[in-house]
Structure 1
Amino acid sequence: MTIQRMDNVAIVVDDLDAAIALFAELGMELEGRAHNEGLFADQAVGLDGIRSEIAMMRTPDGHGRLELSKYLHPEASAPSPAAPPPNTLGLHRIMFAVDDLDDTLARLRPHGVEPLREVGNYQDAYRLCYLRGPDGIILALAEQIG
């Protein structure tokens, strides 16, 4: 099994409106904005009490997407050399769509990659989780189930 595609890259920002304006100026289109919180978010991301606002930006060709995230709780932290948490300012994570999440996790474990918490279920449509990879890079895997 291999990944299906690179779904999006997320960047944690402090000023969501300014970030949207910057990427819009570069030619990206705003697909939408949403608030993210609840058990699903806590499970998938690996933090407790998450409240965030996200904006999804799309490249003009429609193939590339960038998720801009503003963490309201817990507040974003400044980057550090140690493995930073998922709400650190800057590059957040890279998400990949996979056809079998459990199989993919099993194949990644021998490489030292483990979920930050557990696999979350989003509205019976997706199963997903965050993982810490080499050099503290955070990856996310999502399997469409509905």
Structure 2
Amino acid sequence: MYSPRPRFKFNTIGLFTSNNKATVDFYTKAFGFTTDWDGIQPNVEMMLGDMRIILYPRSDFEQMVSYKFQYPMGLNGTVELAFDVPSYADVDKEYQHALRHGAISVLPPTTEPWGQRTCYVADLDGNLIEIGSFTIEQNNH
């Protein structure tokens, strides 16, 4: 039987943080996310267009679920946030912008054999962020 609506709509990434304020500052300055977070509540919702990130302190999450988790130390190679930008030049520009706002460099901008220019940085908790494009030049007509 055909269903016009999918069962689920994937709409949010949740990140468990060691410092909500520092993470909010990073994502707002490095990538332009916005939030109306009051600086007090443990749950932070951040938006960038249709993208939504929720931040929640690791310690509060463990208390809520009554379970102690083992978090990756250093860089977290289990998942990435991927941002698509309009052109190769934008990959380089956004990489430098992210570094100026506290990102950790993982892979500088590189043009891959499959035609993508990509780079990787990490946020303050070691979460990987990819910035990439398949467009060599942006048309400004």
Class of the TM-score when normalised by the shorter of the 2 chains? 0.3 to 0.5
- Higher relative CO (Cα under 8 Å, sequence separation at least 6) belongs to 1
TM-score calculated relative to the size of structure 1: 0.38
Greater C-alpha radius of gyration: 2
Which structure is higher in strand share? 1
